[in-house]
Amino acid sequence: MDMSEYVATLRRELAMITRFAGDDVARAAEMLTDAMEASVRLTLLEVLSAAAAEITTRLDDAVIDVRLSGSDADFVVTMTPGDEPPGPRADQGAAESADDMTRVTLRLSEPLKARVEASAAAAGASVNAWLIRAIGQALDAPPGRSSRSRPGIGQRYTGYARG
């Protein structure tokens, strides 16, 4: 879906409103539309994402995501029967129905997003299902036990070594 058409419609509407105003008001409106274009595109993307999330809550076996590709918003439908996390959480499906779902906006760096998408694809899951599974595993991990095999920021090794 090309959002440029909708942004252009807003530009035309604002130009129509200011057509009887003086040149300074018309120029100010033009400058305002130039400055607001990115915000308008982001708002349109948020509206599409909210609509996709609402539709997803009404579907039993599919998740609808909105992905931005350049200036186009694309809808991606992912079937979810095999996306349920394994283990003890799998039997909680009845308790965690679609009515219990909530939407969260997560901002990731491009390199991290690419790693998440690659891991989800390798697991044969949607990014949403993969993130839910990863969050569930992180929350279910015993406290004090890190999933890392090497120390990270704020972690230390202590003890003695022989040389």
Q: What pLDDT is attached to residue 94?
A: 37
Four-residue CA torsion sign, 105, 36, 71, 115: negative
Of the candidates 98, 82, 102, the residue with the CA atom closest to the CA atom of residue 90: 82
Indicate whether 90 belongs to any domain: no
Tokens found for residue 109 = 């760096």
Q: Both 20 and 62 in a single domain?
A: yes
pLDDT of 101 above 80: no
Q: What pLDDT is attached to residue 90?
A: 41
Q: Both 60 and 123 in a single domain?
A: no
Q: Are the C-beta atoms of 64 and 48 separated by less than 8 Å?
A: no
Average of per-residue pLDDT across 122-127:
83
Indicate whether 86 belongs to any domain: no
Indicate whether 96 belongs to any domain: no
Query: Hey, what's the torsion of the CAs at 88, 91, 92, 97, to 10 degrees?
Result: 140
- Rounded Cα–Cα distance for residues 44 and 120 (Å): 27
Q: For residue 85, what pLDDT band results from cuts at 50, 70 and 90?
A: very low
Q: Are the C-beta atoms of 129 and 120 separated by less than 8 Å?
A: yes
How many structural domains is the chain composed of? 2
Q: Both 73 and 109 in a single domain?
A: no
Q: Both 9 and 64 in a single domain?
A: yes
Domain with 132, as residue range(s), is 104-144
Better-scored residue on pLDDT, 26 or 146: 26
Whole-structure pTM value: 0.42
Q: Both 71 and 108 in a single domain?
A: no
The lowest-confidence range among 22-31, 55-64, 153-162 is: 153-162
Q: What pLDDT is attached to residue 158?
A: 62
Q: What pLDDT is attached to residue 89?
A: 44
Indicate whether 120 belongs to any domain: yes
Q: Both 108 and 61 in a single domain?
A: no
